[in-house]
Amino acid sequence: MRRDVARNVSLTAVLAAMVTVGAAAPSSSAPPASPPPKAPVAVGYGGAVSSVDADATAAGIEVLRKGGNAVDAAVATAAALGVTEPYSAGLGGGGYFVHYDARTHRVETIDGRETAPRSADSSLFLENGRPIGFDEAVTSGLGVGTPGTPATWDAALDAWGSKSLRQVLKPAERLARDGFVVDATFRSQTEGNQARFADFPATRKLFLPGGRLPEIGSVLKNPDLARTYEEVGREGVETLYRGRLAEDIVRTVRTPPVDPAADRVVRPGDLTTRDLRAYRALRQAPTRVEYRGLDVYGMAPSSSGGTTVGEALNILESMDLSRASEERYLHRYIEASRIAFADRGRWVGDPAFEDVPTRGLLGQRFADGRACLIKDDAVLTSPLAPGDPRHPAAGCATGGTAAPTTYEGENTTHLTAADKWGNVVAYTLTIEQTGGSGITVPGRGFLLNNELTDFSFAPANPAVHDPNLPGPGKRPRSSISPTIVLKDGRPVLALGSPGGATIITTVLQTLIGAVDRGLPLVEAIAAPRASQRNAAATELEPALWNSPVRARLEALGHVFKANPEIGAATGVQRLPDGRWLAAAEKVRRGGGSAMVVTPSRQR
């Protein structure tokens, strides 16, 4: 890949980013009476964790303090998020795990995506030849895939961890038993789900205590989940795939426990114990592109995150974003996103079922051919037709049929972790919709995913092959984009975000904000976002919507619509002096939580 003149300036900006005083985790000797204080940035030694939630970040730091490594801390943080962020993640969901090994200097990944039942085919969400309503698919057993999160934890600990699953689940088990303090974000998310949660007795009992919304400042306990974590720690994840817990999940999916008095139509699913027994979390090679002399690693399909972020970076490689005006920088970023999403929609699906041209999509020659579409005085039309990575020289040709981007649920969660040895984890996990399917497994304390709604219900465009239709045992395409960036084989930064398809644009914009625009990582995360996903309109957060740059971009031909909040990223960064910097959101989702084992002051 070419290296433009901005390389040295950009790299220096990443490595020498400004930092502030860090936050430490509270003592692990007793659960806090109130949640640990949230801080969006922390700097120090011994390792770092960042997530959206202070209790979860503290759980990861606790494990690091007890001698665990980044993988141990990541699993502990993820399990705690299953308590405090149960509408975003948990045992009933899946995700993607990216790991850097400081000893071997290698990046490897785990695909822990949920899978469709073996009975599923392309008509999974069709009735009488027509797609069912999206809302009806969301709140149903039909949308539930085999969970991949427990298998991901097991695979990661087996490959790279130093602690047992039982040990790293202890902080989350304690948090579920003793409870966490309800904040405004949790109450708001509960309120958004109140009507459907009320239709499932087990969900209502857990999240609507006394039939009412939980009060801000109250303590919400989940003793069922505490017992479930204890059982999984004692018996291993096999209990979820072959044991009693597997039977409970299958029973819940096949006979959704809806209140008899409810008038909601809740379709059953066809998940079986055989489907659970057959599930495997897949260790696989990451995607990789070189950008400004940095090696950027991400998730390969079934996620489209690595290929789409990578292609967009390759497109931008020939453009100097460091000295561009804000208008020109945003224009080029938006157009690169548009092009990469056009190609994603046509080519990316589960590689066990689809011939995904991953190498071609990540090829610099293909990106150069697509980059020639971008003009500084005009805007591409959306939806844009895809290119063909099998014939990269024809990338600038117009014509063909576009494949519009299908909807993906936005409420996922991301965490990043690093340890004193230099190992790094970027891990994004989800149950899809805010609140997943809305169905809690009775007596188990966790919600089931509705991840299969990430499939196309019908071809996005009947004239074009859709690689994301359902199939037996197939993994729906994801946009999850956990990313680790290396320089000469050593970590520079790692990051990721929730947000459905906006995950890709959030990660892309944060990366180029840090690398090209010279922003400290916490400021690159906080910067106002734009998201273009091969749609007629680009989404803008309020700070850009209300900015003069919007009018200048509209004069070029851009069309915008407002989005109050895009993504909620977290990251870690290795500083030149060996310290870790953890960074999280300042405001989005109520602000994130960054902690280090031993904080230090700015030098």
Distance CA 346, CA 464 (A): 8
602: helix, coil or strand? Answer: coil
Nearest CA to 129 out of 459, 556, 463, 396 is that of 459
Check if the beta carbon of residue 464 is closer than 8 Å to that of residue 401.
yes
DSSP label at 440?
B
**Bridging pattern class, strands 41-51 and 412-419:** antiparallel
Please spell the DSSP secondary structure of 373-432, one letter per residue: T--TT----SSPPP--TTSGGGTT---S---PPPP----EEEEEEEETT--EEEEEEE-S
Check if the beta carbon of residue 239 is closer than 8 Å to that of residue 231.
yes
User: Which residues are 561's β-sheet partners?
Assistant: 539
Distance CA 276, CA 117 (A): 9
The verdict on whether 406 is a catalytic residue reads no
Q: For residue 171, give the amino acid letter.
A: P
How crowded is residue 128: how many other Cβ atoms within 10 Å of its Cβ? 5
Distance CA 443, CA 440 (A): 8
Environment class of 536 (CB within 10 Å of its CB; exposed 0-12, middle 13-18, buried 19+): exposed
> Hey, which bits of 89-229 come out as E strands?
94-101, 106-112, 126-127, 130-131, 180-181, 219-220
Environment class of 27 (CB within 10 Å of its CB; exposed 0-12, middle 13-18, buried 19+): exposed
Catalytic: which of 185, 307, 405, 412?
412
Check if the beta carbon of residue 457 is closer than 8 Å to that of residue 129.
no
Q: Which residues are the active-site residues?
A: 412
